[in-house]
Amino acid sequence: MSPSSKPRSEKPSDLSRIVALVSGIVIAVLVGYLTLEAFRDGSPAVIALEIAAGEGWSEGESAYVPVDVRNSGGRTAAEIEVETRFETPDSEPVVKRTVIDFLAGGERRRFYAVGPVGTRPSARVIGFQEP
């Protein structure tokens, strides 16, 4: 290049414009996601149980009683262990444990406790983990 010649100004190629556009979109999505996470409810998991005995049924000598497990907190709960107990008047109570893999914040899951006909179960949370 001689000292008297001026450098040419080149326009960006179509490929570089596309790469810039995609990069801008990725950055905008990332900033939006991080902003959403900053304002999200981060309260600890709170597990509540509700026995819906009116919705149950029986087959033979077994009663199927629905139990609703709800996480009313903001964080996910994992390995939720629930104990159901059917009190029988003449023998030992029927105790069963159920493990629910996970419940996200605000999520509800239903399982069915199986016990003798004519008894009403009680349920309690044994424990859970916050991943």
Of 77, 64, 43, 75, nearest to 117 (Cα)?
64
Q: Tens-of-pLDDT digits for all 131 residues of the chain?
A: 555 666 677 888 999 999 999 999 999 999 999 988 777 767 899 999 999 878 989 999 999 999 999 999 888 999 999 999 999 888 889 999 999 999 998 899 999 999 998 888 899 999 999 87
- With left for phi above 0 and alpha for psi between -120 and 50, is residue 12 left, alpha or beta? beta
d(CA 123, CA 48): 10
d(CA 89, CA 125): 24
Please provide the size of the chain in residues: 131
